[in-house]
């Protein structure tokens, strides 16, 4: 048993207190009992004598004899009465009975005794009263206490140690139990509750610790959740920042190349170098490059408005069927240039609650890409249907005669990514069209996929009729 344990401390303190009280009581009895007994005995002798004398005033000596005998018997005393000339008049059989002898009187006087000499008034005469009472029994009692000390000590030790042990165990058991529970809580182990069924402070302490455990557990859960969310937000912010830097680096590269070309054209025309003397031709090329750069800047500005933290769709009821018809009609010019046949399968009167401008921009980019990246004399299928069992609307665009490598399909929705590796402006766009589609569909809660089918590329989107903000 470790010295620091509260059970051991309480056991030692309780044992010490019990032994101290036992020793104090024993010493008190041993030293103060004789004095107390002597005072008690003398008071009893005095009180009994006064009562006897009061009764004797109206009696003769012979009539008062029973009271005198009773007083001597009750107080274990020897008394005798003398006349004024010294003659013994009581007891009457003093010299005939063995119970009262001169030798016995002298023997009592030689030991610890209490003596009273007083005049006593009887009905017809006054005598001198002599009383002798022994105090020896209290001395014998003190000696017996000394002889009985080993037995008393043994009893006190057994009772004291047993009582102290039981008392310390009874008091400290709930405290040790609460301490074990508190240590588990300190180690963030909240699997067990502290159950102390009592109506005292220990019960209140266990209830308070349980409440603290619940509150601490909930607080830790909230902190972990908040910390996880914070880490997720930080990771997202880092990812967004990384993408933003990559985006601006790509933008700088996309603008630097045409600017360098324009600068070369202008310098050649300024110094009339070789073919650059034909200024009209190169001014036209410069103008075309500037237009493409302007379109690129316009798309970049559009992207800045489509960032998730800035994009707030304005919901309205949109006739999706009419919207797709209009987009297809406006892009028919590009299809005729490549002799591409557009085949439509559009259910009528399909309405959705969404941002019409954003959805139009996304669908236009999808159909335009299908036309621009299809070979000559191919077909583009546009389907808009609604399943009778489901309220979602299915939007599909299929362009034939072409397929995309699987590794490219995973990247085509990234900014400035183009399947055409030469990055020739004459054979490809800016690389932002499908990225814009991705941003808009994410804002409008529209799911989409792109995959290869038989000698074709299929784009599918699921549009809910009610778009959540």
Contact assessment for residue 134 and residue 105, using Cβ atoms and an 8 Å cutoff: no
- What is the SS3 assignment for 351? strand
Residue 466's pLDDT band (cuts 50, 70, 90): low
Q: How far apart (Å, rounded) are the C-alpha atoms in residues 252 and 244?
A: 12
pLDDT in tens, 11-33: 788 788 888 888 888 788 777 77
Residue 106's pLDDT band (cuts 50, 70, 90): very low
Q: Is the pLDDT of residue 449 over 90?
A: yes
Residue 371's pLDDT band (cuts 50, 70, 90): very high
| Pair type for strands 379-386 and 341-346 | parallel
Q: How far apart (Å, rounded) are the C-alpha atoms in residues 122 and 160?
A: 60
DSSP 429: -
Mean pLDDT of 370-386: 92
Paired with 121 in beta bridges are 126
Residue 452's pLDDT band (cuts 50, 70, 90): very high
Q: Is the pLDDT of residue 109 over 90?
A: no
* pTM for this prediction: 0.47
pLDDT in tens, 207-249: 887 788 788 878 888 888 888 889 888 988 888 788 777 777 7
Residue 136's pLDDT band (cuts 50, 70, 90): low
- What is the SS3 assignment for 465? coil
Cis peptide before 243 (omega within 30 of 0): no
Q: Higher model confidence: residue 217 or residue 267?
A: 267
Residue 466 neighbours by CB under 8 Å, 6+ apart: 352, 353
Place of tokens 């707030």: 312
pLDDT in tens, 390-399: 678 999 999 9
Predicted local distance difference test score (pLDDT) of residue 309: 57
Q: Is the pLDDT of residue 194 over 50?
A: yes
Residue 78 φ/ψ, nearest 5 degrees:
-115, 125
**Two domains, one topology: 215-305 and 313-463:** no
pLDDT in tens, 292-331: 788 778 777 776 666 655 567 888 999 999 999 999 998 9
Strands (DSSP E) contained in 273-403 are 316-319, 341-346, 351-354, 379-386, 393-400
Predicted local distance difference test score (pLDDT) of residue 389: 67
Contact assessment for residue 437 and residue 366, using Cβ atoms and an 8 Å cutoff: yes
Tell me the CATH number for domain 215-305. 1.10.287.130
Can you give the residue ranges of every domain in the chain? 6-156, 215-305, 313-463
Q: Is the pLDDT of residue 119 over 50?
A: yes
Instruction: Give CA separation, 28 vs 137, 143, 307, in Å.
Output: 18, 14, 95
- What is the SS3 assignment for 83? coil
Percent of the chain with pLDDT over 70: 85
* Closest to 372 (Cα-Cα) out of 431, 413, 324, 416: 431
Residue 42's pLDDT band (cuts 50, 70, 90): confident
pLDDT in tens, 46-90: 888 888 888 888 888 888 888 888 888 888 888 888 888 878 888
Tell me the CATH number for domain 313-463. 3.30.565.10
Percent of the chain with pLDDT over 90: 15
* Closest to 156 (Cα-Cα) out of 50, 284, 17: 17
Q: How far apart (Å, rounded) are the C-alpha atoms in residues 293 and 424?
A: 14
Q: Is the pLDDT of residue 362 over 80?
A: yes
Q: Which helix (H) or strand (E) holds 458?
A: strand 456-463
Contact assessment for residue 78 and residue 104, using Cβ atoms and an 8 Å cutoff: yes
Contact assessment for residue 453 and residue 398, using Cβ atoms and an 8 Å cutoff: yes
Predicted local distance difference test score (pLDDT) of residue 379: 94
- What is the SS3 assignment for 446? coil
Residue 58 φ/ψ, nearest 5 degrees:
-110, 15
Mean pLDDT (the chain) is 80
Mean pLDDT of 444-455: 91
Residue 383's pLDDT band (cuts 50, 70, 90): very high
The vertex-45 CA angle with 42 and 47, nearest 5°, equals 105
Residue 263's pLDDT band (cuts 50, 70, 90): confident
Predicted local distance difference test score (pLDDT) of residue 41: 80
CB atoms within 10 A of CB 263: 11
HSE-up (13 A, CA, CB side) for residue 318: 24
Predicted local distance difference test score (pLDDT) of residue 104: 47
Print burial letters for 416-447: b (CB count within 10 Å at least 16), e (below 16): bebeeeeeebeeebbbbbbbbbbbbbebbebe
Predicted local distance difference test score (pLDDT) of residue 395: 94
Predicted local distance difference test score (pLDDT) of residue 100: 43
Predicted local distance difference test score (pLDDT) of residue 121: 85
Residue 393 φ/ψ, nearest 5 degrees:
-105, 135
Residue 340's pLDDT band (cuts 50, 70, 90): very high
Residue 101's pLDDT band (cuts 50, 70, 90): very low
């Amino acid at each position: 048993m470790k010295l620091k344990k509260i059970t051991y401390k309480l056991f030692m303190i309780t044992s010490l207190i019990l032994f101290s009280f036992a020793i104090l009581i024993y010493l008190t009895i041993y030293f103060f009992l004789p004095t107390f007994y002597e005072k008690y005995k003398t008071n009893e002798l005095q009180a009994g004598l006064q009562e006897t004398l009061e009764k004797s005033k109206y009696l003769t000596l012979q009539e008062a004899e029973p009271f005198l005998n009773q007083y001597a018997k009750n107080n274990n005393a020897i008394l005798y009465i003398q006349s004024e000339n010294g003659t013994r008049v009581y007891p009457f059989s003093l010299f005939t009975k063995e119970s009262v002898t001169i030798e016995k009187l002298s023997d009592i006087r030689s030991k610890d005794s209490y003596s009273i000499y007083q005049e006593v008034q009887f009905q017809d005469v006054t005598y001198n009263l002599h009383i002798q009472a022994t105090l020896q029994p209290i001395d014998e009692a003190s000696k017996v206490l000394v002889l009985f000390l080993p037995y008393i000590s043994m009893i006190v030790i057994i009772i004291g140690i047993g009582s102290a042990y039981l008392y310390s165990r009874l008091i400290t058991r709930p405290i040790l139990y609460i301490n074990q529970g508190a240590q588990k809580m300190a180690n963030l182990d909240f699997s067990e509750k502290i159950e102390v069924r009592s109506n005292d402070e220990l019960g209140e302490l266990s209830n308070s610790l349980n409440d603290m455990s619940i509150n601490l557990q909930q607080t830790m859960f909230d902190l972990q959740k908040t910390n996880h969310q914070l880490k997720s937000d930080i990771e997202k912010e880092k990812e967004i920042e990384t993408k933003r830097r990559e985006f601006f680096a790509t933008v700088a590269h996309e603008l630097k190349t045409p600017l360098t070309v324009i600068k070369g054209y202008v310098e050649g025309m300024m110094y009339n170098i070789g073919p650059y003397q034909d200024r009209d031709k190169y001014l036209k090329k410069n103008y075309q490059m500037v237009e493409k750069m302007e379109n690129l800047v316009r798309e970049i500005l559009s992207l800045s408005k489509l960032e998730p933290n800035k994009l707030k769709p304005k919901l309205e009821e949109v006739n999706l069927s009419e919207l797709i018809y209009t987009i297809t009609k406006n892009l028919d010019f590009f299809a005729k240039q490549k002799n591409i046949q557009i085949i439509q399968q559009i259910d009528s009167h399909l309405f959705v609650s969404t941002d019409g401008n954003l959805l139009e921009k996304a669908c236009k980019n999808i159909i335009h890409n299908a036309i621009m990246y299809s070979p000559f004399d191919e077909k583009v299928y546009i389907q808009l249907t609604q399943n009778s069992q489901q309220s979602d609307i299915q939007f599909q665009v299929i362009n034939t005669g072409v397929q995309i490598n699987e590794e490219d399909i995973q990247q085509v929705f990234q900014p400035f990514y183009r399947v055409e590796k030469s990055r020739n402006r004459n054979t490809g766009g800016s690389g932002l069209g499908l990225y814009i589609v991705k941003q808009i569909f994410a804002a409008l809660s529209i799911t989409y996929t792109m995959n290869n089918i038989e000698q074709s590329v299929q784009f599918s989107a699921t549009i809910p009729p009610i778009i959540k903000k």
